[in-house]
């Protein structure tokens, strides 16, 4: 095996320090630049916010070259180079990117093609944006190939001198030019004198521009996929909206409440959630879950979702009910006419009996029509009256039968709302379907909890909810936020076919009972009240007639009841 001797880096540096310090200084500078470029590459691959990423590119480009100014352009779909960031140390300007000062309106994008469709090769940035060739111009005032009239006009107006230019194309992994990086006036670190950009720094900036282009493309790709996901989610919500005008608004309003409450949890400085801070990713995850929390309703039959009255199936059978009463009135009239024909002397008595019968029939019809509309509560005596009315006989198709079938009686005697137990089970099944659907989707890592957030809005704090019977300890804070948002929206909604919207005070009274009964998270509900989330939502989404005063302190002081 041949012995090999290796040159020790430290020995070489020690030797150069004695023989040629300038060469050693150059080597050290190169090492620093390489280390910095490696660090920049890491930052470019990590950053996901586009304005921050663009700012990092131009700041590092100016630092590497010791440039006085810089401009970053991005290519648009209409073949222009849009100004994204403009910086100049001497002029003290910092436009675009993460700066609080946007690009001035009077600074227009650079056209890559003339009005005649010819390539705009007279403009430096347009030329580079079209050809991909790097331009390193030592002195713009000595260059006749490109049009620097704009820069010269700026110089004359502000007493500046735009001298050296380094303009580099940013090409992505597919070799597409997505933008241009332009640096202005390289300066000597020792004297501050404007100098040309060196070939060495040019290579470094070309490397930076290449990395930057890939990073920008990646960020845009991620943003595009996120926008696609958001659009798809809202498309599903719109589909539910089209399926049922009574619940479609619910799909967009619940996210609004959930995000308002989550933001207030982030801001609160007291109570159980004082130390809770949701990240941007957490908030995105919650928002998507809120939009998708009722996605399972897309499989719920329309006649159940839209059941506006108790007798409604595919159509409202109340019209058939009214027709049956018309038959009873006709039969009563026939009996009356036959009676007076048989015994004219009793006509007056028969007339009184007939009028009483019509009055009773109309009273029963109006009563059943009222029962059909549904409501918050139906007393037992009203249910008994429905059963008595149902026993009346009617002849249909030559066969005598009860006025109302058992199915009709069962529907008309629904205690709350318009749904039977079986229909309510179908509605409740949408949660199971929602969870099943969402768990089948390959959500990325930062959205993995969407099914849990979306599927927990009908659970309670003590395991009495559905579909899994979870308790507070089993649920994330976000899932508990969803529960409050879902309930509050349902209480205040005024577009349901079976109930009127409630005022804020009425909704808070009911939610106060939910707090006492451990139906909702009491600490989150306190944030909901103290931070006036309910009022912020109401001002934006509710009709003013439903907005009234709420005794917040009363509900804050309420305590959940002791559990056995």
In a domain, 22, yes or no: no
Q: What's the pLDDT score for residue 2?
A: 47
Residue 359: is its pLDDT beyond 80? yes
If one counts the domains in the chain, the total is 3
Residue 1: is its pLDDT beyond 50? no
- Please compute the mean of the pLDDT values over residues 274-278 and round it to a whole number: 93
Are 292 and 324 within one domain?
A: no
481: Cβ contacts below 8 Å, ≥ 6 apart:
258, 261, 262, 265, 286, 524
Residue 263: is its pLDDT beyond 70? yes
Are 198 and 280 within one domain?
A: no
Are 358 and 337 within one domain?
A: yes
- The token pair that represents 398 in the structure block: 């030559």
Are 446 and 509 within one domain?
A: yes
Are 152 and 86 within one domain?
A: yes
CA-to-CA dists, residue 502 to 308, 507, 528, angstroms = 18, 6, 17
Are 76 and 214 within one domain?
A: yes
Are 299 and 426 within one domain?
A: yes
CA-to-CA dists, residue 371 to 40, 285, 383, angstroms = 72, 43, 9
Q: Phi-psi bin for 536: left (phi > 0), alpha (psi -120 to 50), beta?
A: alpha
Assessment of whether the complete model's pTM goes beyond 0.85: no
pLDDT confidence of 416, banded at 50, 70, 90? confident
- How many percent of the chain have pLDDT more than 70? 89
pLDDT confidence of 29, banded at 50, 70, 90? low
In a domain, 5, yes or no: no
pLDDT confidence of 333, banded at 50, 70, 90? very high
Are 84 and 209 within one domain?
A: yes
Q: Which domain holds residue 534?
A: 244-304+422-557
Which of 119-128, 297-306, 326-335, 417-426 is least confident?
297-306
Alpha carbon distance, N-terminus to C-terminus of the chain: 83
Are 329 and 441 within one domain?
A: no
Angle of helix 21-46 relative to helix 9-19, nearest 10 degrees, comes to 130
């Amino acid at each position: 095996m041949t012995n090999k001797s290796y040159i020790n880096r430290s020995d070489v540096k020690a030797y150069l320090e004695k023989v040629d310090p300038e060469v050693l200084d150059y080597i050290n500078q190169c090492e620093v630049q390489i280390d910095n470029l490696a660090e920049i590459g890491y930052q470019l691959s990590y950053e996901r916010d586009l304005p921050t990423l663009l700012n990092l590119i131009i700041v590092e480009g100016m630092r590497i070259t010791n440039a006085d100014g810089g401009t970053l352009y991005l290519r648009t779909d209409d073949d222009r180079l849009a100004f994204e960031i403009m910086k100049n140390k001497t002029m003290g300007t910092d436009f675009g990117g993460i700066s609080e000062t946007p690009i001035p309106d009077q600074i227009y994008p650079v056209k890559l093609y003339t009005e005649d469709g010819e390539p705009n090769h007279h403009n430096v940035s347009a030329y580079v944006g079209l050809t991909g060739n790097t331009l390193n111009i030592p002195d713009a005032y000595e260059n006749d190939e490109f049009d620097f009239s704009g820069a010269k006009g700026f110089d004359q107006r502000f007493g500046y001198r735009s001298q050296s230019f380094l303009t580099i194309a940013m090409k992505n992994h597919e070799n597409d030019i997505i933008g241009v990086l332009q640096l202005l006036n390289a300066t000597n670190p020792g004297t501050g004198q404007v100098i040309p950009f060196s070939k060495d720094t040019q290579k470094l900036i070309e490397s930076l521009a290449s990395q930057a282009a890939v990073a920008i493309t990646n960020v845009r790709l991620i943003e595009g996929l996120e926008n696609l996901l958001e659009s798809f989610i809202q498309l599903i919500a719109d589909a539910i909206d089209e399926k049922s005008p009574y619940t479609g608004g619910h799909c967009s309003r619940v996210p609004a409440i959930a995000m308002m409450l989550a933001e207030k949890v982030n801001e609160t400085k007291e109570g159980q959630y004082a130390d809770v801070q949701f990240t941007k990713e957490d908030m995105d995850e919650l928002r998507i879950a809120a939009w998708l929390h009722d996605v399972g309703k897309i499989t719920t039959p329309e006649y159940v979702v839209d059941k506006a009255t108790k007798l409604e199936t595919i159509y409202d059978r109340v019209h058939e009910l009214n027709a049956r009463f018309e038959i009873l009135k006709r039969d009563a009239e026939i009996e009356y006419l036959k009676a007076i024909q048989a015994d004219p002397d009793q006509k007056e008595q028969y007339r009184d009996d007939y009028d009483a019968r019509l009055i009773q029939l109309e009273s029963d019809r109006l009563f059943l029509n009222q029962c059909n509309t549904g409501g918050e509560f139906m007393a037992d005596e009203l249910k008994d009256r429905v059963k008595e009315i149902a026993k009346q006989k009617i002849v249909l198709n030559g066969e005598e039968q009860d006025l109302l079938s058992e199915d009709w009686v069962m529907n008309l005697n629904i205690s709350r709302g318009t749904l039977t137990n079986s229909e309510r089970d179908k509605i409740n099944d949408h949660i199971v379907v929602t969870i099943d659907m969402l768990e089948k989707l390959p959500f990325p890592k930062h959205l993995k909890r969407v099914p849990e957030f979306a599927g927990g809005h009908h659970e309670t704090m003590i395991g009495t909810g559905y579909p899994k019977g979870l308790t507070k300890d089993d649920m994330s804070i976000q899932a508990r936020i969803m529960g409050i948002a879902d309930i509050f929206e349902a209480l205040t909604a005024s577009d349901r076919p079976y109930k009127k919207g409630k005022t804020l005070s009425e909704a808070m009274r009911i939610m106060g009972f939910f707090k006492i009964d451990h139906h909702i998270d009491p600490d989150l509900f306190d944030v909901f009240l103290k931070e006036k989330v309910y009022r912020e939502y109401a001002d934006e989404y509710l009709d003013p007639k439903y907005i009234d005063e709420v005794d917040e302190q009363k509900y804050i002081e309420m305590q959940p009841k002791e559990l056995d």
